[in-house]
Chains A and B, each alone.
Chain A
Amino acid sequence: MRAVWIAGLAAVRRRRLQSVIVGVVVTLSSGVIALCLALLSGTNAPFDRAFEQQRGAQVTALYAAGSAPGHLEGTAGPFPVATVRDTDGASWRVVGRADPGGAVDRVAVVRGRWPRAAGEVVISRGRWDPASSPVGARFATLSGEPALTVVGVAVSMSASADAWTTPAQARALPHPAGDQLLYRFADASALPREGLISTGSYQTLRYAFESRLSSTVPMLVTFGGLGLAISVLIIVITVSGAVISGLRAIGVMKSLGFTPAQVVAVHLIMIMVPSAAGALAGTAVGNALSLPMLGDYASMIGLPVGVEVEYLAALATYAGVLALVAVTALLPALRAGRLGAVQAIQLSAGSGPGRSRTAQRRLAGSRLPIPLGLGLGQPFTRPARTALTLAVLVVGASALTFVGGLYLSTDAVERLQDRSAAVQVSVDGNPVPQDISARLRALPGARTLTAMRAADARIEGLAQSGILIGWSGDMVTAGYPLANGRWFRGEDEVVVPGPLLRLTGKGVGDTLAVQLQGRTAELRIVGELAITKTEQTVYVSGQTFLHRNGARRPYAYEIGLAPDSDVSAFLAMVRAGGWQARAIPRPAESDVRTVVPAFALVLVLVTALGVFNVVVLNTRERRHELGVLKSVGMEPRQVVAMVVTSVAGLALFGGLLGLPAGIGLFRAFFAIASEAGRTSYPATIMDIYDARMLAAVVGVLLLTAMLGALVPAGWAARAGTATVLRAE
């Protein structure tokens, strides 16, 4: 046993470069694996888990002051509630709570601390604006309210308040709203009715949360899965390669009297020592890196921090990586243990079978320059390793394709919704001159003018009340993409948002009953509005609107400007005319734009690392052949060209295989995301890929592979020749 250890450790030292490579690869891969697993765990029922962790309230009830029932099992409160208006006029629900913990609705303080004295307030993160009210700043309220100082930021999974203060301070605020009771049971009908003002259910919160996450979760699952796959593949390639190239020593070991089992053990030690160290470092770093990422993710999606290192999961990752390494090392080692010394050396040298030679001969004898012909033939010498490398490249290519599709579709969605070349003139409540349309239309730069009218309506299939919008004048279809059908042309035609169709089970061509002013109108659905997540707004022509709803003044006019016109100058001009006008903001930039490039970069690096390893293994195994080639006059740059070509061909092939896989992945992702988000998209989104994007994916993959090959190719070109030619 001692001899085995000594031989194993000696092998680790002697094969220093290889040990370093195994260590580095296992470090990076297990880092990526830990990161991916953390991402995946973050996508697993995030609302429910956080809700349980914070013992969220299923029902938030507001009672008239003093009429809340006494203490019940599984409740918290009553807490005094007051309404505060900030300087913008927005209303805040301020709850007085002495303690953020308790049996129900544990509020997580994510910044600062909980209020201890009167005049202190903690803001809920959902409404917190770090710029206008950092911790320590005055909370800007309308005059007449006592001065409040922000001492912290907190998150409640039950959204039980916009801000919290001490009970005494809440009672002292000038606009009391009642008493809050928080319940941890699902059935709101069990609540005492007397004095009950309103209830809120966690189902609503959950619904909103999940529709917000509808695209994030499948995206992270895809990213995590792809990252895992590629890391596992790279570990397998490197470890099996290291074991195989170690087989040369078997003859010597056997002649020294090592049994097959001892041979296997030596090989395992040789691999496991650097792997154990690497996996430890990688798991630690991966978990450490995942913390800020998960923190960002949590705050992005509205969860309390609640992310801690899960030591058990980290340990499981560590054990899993080591098990993977051990199995990967064991298979070739077991085979080697059984082999005779000569066979083992043959296996190690990678002399190919007849079929592989045919391909090599053809390529070397082809019209191609000889370094390219030899390079292209090289993958045939090690079919198993080539298959693994190809798998890495295919996964890399499909991931890049997926990422490219995300990017293009995000871009397309933002462009489809873009109305930044329009200005809205709000005329609600203001006296308006008779000829307003003509005057607005006459403004220099104005292209189109649409009058917009709105009315409350009861829409078939909607529990809450809906809104009927009527457009007259020019159509403002830019910024309102359709998933199906067309815009209204005739009387009683309606365009409805996709979520409403999903809710009612109707489609384009069906009729929709809309109650207006107590009368029911049967409108024919001619179009389905895409992308929007709201379900309560439907659109008709101004004519239909006026006919069904009676005369009603527009609430706003939308003016479409000529492309490239100066929106702010136009706004200034409109405002100078005494009207309220605003530019229509661009849709918020999607977080896809920040997550995706980071992921793409990690992916490119990991793929390059995989290729780097393969090329290191190949050039070390083939150093004799390289020496021969150099002795007959192969120049260093020809060596580099040959080595780089050996992976470039694979990358091209892998890229072409990965494209359809990536497109399929993207389509599946989009279908899932739009189903989960109950959102419709124009069919063109599915065909978002253009030739340029596909060429870019293959190009990036090719460059990545060539970059990964370049360094070991340079080593191979510089390596001394005289020594390798001596020994045989």
Chain B
Amino acid sequence: MNAVVQVEAVRKEYGETVALAGVTLSIGAGEAVAIMGPSGSGKSTLLNMIAGLDRPSSGLVTVQGEELTRMSEGALARYRRRRIGMVFQFFNLLDDLPVLENVALSARLVGTPRRQARTRALELLEELGIADRRDAYPATLSGGQRQRVGVARALMNRPALLLADEPTGALDSRSGEQVMDLLLDLNQIGQTLMLVTHDHRLAERCATRVVHFADGRIAEMEAA
């Protein structure tokens, strides 16, 4: 079995709120899965479970054969930097560090030597076409540029799985378009991808499969 992600009967409750009401989902290597659904339907919650940023109330999440629910916080952190990359709607870059250091960060956390981490970061920035802004601070970049820095950072440790939560949600349509192309390219060279979006065009263009959420459940699954 070559499933990268295996989600089994995952429930998540925040007090009274049921964010996930039993979700089962499997994602194979090289797939690009788009998650869609109304606001509050549990899309981000699911992504956080897979990223190990939050723990399910019940159910299992397995990524590349590793069962997240049993891991300690430290093990989850190590899992995040080895196996996954995350792209956020609002970028979540560190304002006080220049672009290059932001990208190199996750490699430096693994203990990659400084020079090696920078070389890799620079390569990525070059591939994404923003190498000329490597010494700029995030606040001075446009939204599209910032999101490309975000993608570069996510790719830094060659993740098995790229998670993107509304990556174009905060971008104008042209920048959104560019980020979309970027993700598509990545998927075409074999990157497994899971993205949450409200944008039908993005879903249709990028995804090999679209999963529709409603009220914490999978309402419908369609192959793109």
Chain A residues within CB distance 8 Å of chain B:
351-352, 356-357, 360-361, 364-367, 369-371, 377, 381, 624-625, 627-638, 717-718, 720-722, 725-726, 728
A633 in contact with B80 (CB, 8 Å) = yes
Contacts A/B (CB < 8 Å), 6 sampled? A356-B96, A360-B96, A627-B92, A629-B105, A633-B80, A636-B73
Q: Which of A357, A366, A638, A725 contacts B92 (CB 8 A)?
A: A725
Cβ of A721 and Cβ of B53 under 8 Å apart?
yes
Cβ contacts under 8 Å, B114 to chain A:
365-367
CB distance from B160 to the nearest CB of A (A): 14
**If the complex has contacts A361-B97, A364-B97, are A633 and B78 also in contact, measured as CB distance less than 8 A?**
yes
Which 3 pairs of residues, A with B, have the shortest CB-CB distance? A633-B81, A370-B108, A728-B90
Determine which residue in A633, A638, A725 has the highest number of CB atoms from chain B within 10 A of its CB, and name it: A633
In the bound complex, do residue A636 and residue B97 qualify as a contact, i.e. CB atoms below 8 Å apart? no
**Do residues B80 and A632 form an inter-chain contact, with CB atoms below 8 A?**
yes
User: Inside 8 A of A356's CB, which chain B residues have their CB?
Assistant: 96
Whole-angstrom CA separation of A357 from B54 in the bound complex = 32
CB nearest neighbor in A for B51: A631
| Per-residue A-contact encoding for B47-65, CB less than 8 Å = 1, 0 else | 0100101100000000000
B15 CB-CB contact with A under 8 Å: no
- Tell me the bound Cα distance from A722 to B157 in angstroms: 21
- What is the CB-to-nearest-CB distance from A376 to chain B, in angstroms, rounded to a whole number? 13
Asked if B94 and A625 make an inter-chain contact with CB atoms under 8 angstroms apart, the answer reads yes
Contacting pair A726 B77 (CB below 8 A): no
The contact of A635 among B74, B97, B101, by CB within 8 Å, is B74
Query: B31-83: which residues lie under 8 A (CB-CB) from chain A?
Result: 44-45, 48, 51, 53-54, 73-74, 77-78, 80-82
Contact residues in A for B90 (Cβ distance below 8 Å): 728
- Shortest A288–chain B CB gap in Å is 44
Residue of A nearest to B91 (CB): A728
Q: Is the interface of B mostly helix, strand, loop or mixed?
A: helix
Shortest B39–chain A CB gap in Å is 12
- How does the 8 Å CB contact mask read for B107-121 relative to A, with 1 for contact and 0 for none? 011110010000000
Measured between beta carbons, the chain B residues less than 8 angstroms from A726 are 44
Using Cβ atoms and an 8 Å threshold, which residues of chain B touch A718? 73
Q: How far is the CA of A361 from the CA of B111 in the complex (A)?
A: 18
Cβ of B213 under 8 Å from chain A: no
B106 with A633: CB separation less than 8 A: yes
For B80, list chain A residues within 8 Å (CB): 631-633
Q: How long is the Cα–Cα vector from A360 to B137 in the complex, in angstroms?
A: 12
Query: Which residues does chain A contribute within 8 Å of B110, judged by CB atoms?
Result: 633
Looking at the complex, which one of B54, B88, B95, B97 makes contact with A351 (CB distance below 8 Å)? B95
List 8 additional contacts besides A381-B96, A634-B109, A722-B45; criterion CB under 8 Å. A629-B109, A631-B86, A631-B88, A635-B77, A635-B109, A636-B77, A638-B109, A722-B44
A728–B143 CA distance with the chains assembled, in angstroms? 14
Knowing A367-B114, A369-B111, A722-B54 are in contact, say whether A634-B77 is a contact too (CB < 8 A): yes
Please, which residues of chain A bring their CB within 8 A of the CB of B82? 633
Assess the B53–A361 pair: CB atoms within 8 A.
no
* Complex Cα spacing A369 to B117, Å: 12
Docked complex Cα distance between A365 and B101 (Å)? 7
B148 adjacent to chain A (CB < 8 Å):
no
Least CB separation from B72: chain A residue: A636
For residue A725, give the distance in angstroms from its CB to the closest CB of chain B. Answer: 6
Report the separation of the CA atoms of residues A377 and B105 in the bound assembly, to the nearest whole angstrom. Answer: 15
- With contacts A367-B114, A722-B48 taken as known, whether A631 is within 8 angstroms of B96 at the C-beta atoms is no
Instruction: Tell me the bound Cα distance from A231 to B106 in angstroms.
Output: 41
Find the B residue at minimum CB distance from A639.
Answer: B77
Q: Is the CB of B81 within 8 A of A632?
A: yes
Contacts A722-B53, A725-B53 hold; do A637 and B74 have CB atoms under 8 A apart?
yes
The CA-CA distance from A361 to B105 in the complex, in Å, is: 12
In angstroms, Cα B75 to Cα A635, docked, is 8
Give A615 to B107 CA distance when docked, in angstroms: 27
Q: Is the CB of B109 within 8 A of A633?
A: yes
B153 interface residue per 8 A CB criterion:
yes
Shortest A380–chain B CB gap in Å is 9
* A-contacting residues, B158-182, CB 8 Å: none
B residues in contact with A634, CB < 8 Å: 77, 109
Hey, which chain A residues are within 8 Å of B93, CB to CB?
A: 628
In the bound complex, residues from chain A placing their C-beta under 8 Å from that of B106 are 632-633
- Taking CB atoms, residues of chain A closer than 8 Å to B105 are 370, 629, 632
CB of A631 within 8 A of CB of B73, answer no
Residues of chain B within 8 A of A361, CB atoms compared: 96-98, 101
Task: Give A716 Cβ to nearest chain B Cβ, in Å.
Answer: 12
By a CB distance below 8 angstroms, the chain A residues around B51 are: 631
A636 engages B92 (CB within 8 Å): no
Closest A residue to B135 by CB, please name it: A361
Chain B, residue nearest A727 (CB): B90
Bound complex: CA of A357 vs CA of B137, how far in Å? 9
The smallest C-beta distance from A665 to any residue of chain B, in angstroms, reads 37
Bound Cα distance A357, B95 (Å): 9
A199 to B101, CA, bound (A): 85
CB <8 Å contact, B77 and A352: no
Query: Smallest CB-CB separation from B74: which chain A residue?
Result: A635
Chain A CB count within 10 A is highest, among B73, B96, B137, for: B96
Q: In the complex, which of the residues A377, A625, A627 has the most CB atoms of chain B within 10 Å of its own CB atom? A: A625
Q: Which residue of A lies closest to B117 (CB)?
A: A370
* A631 near B109: Cβ-Cβ < 8 Å: no
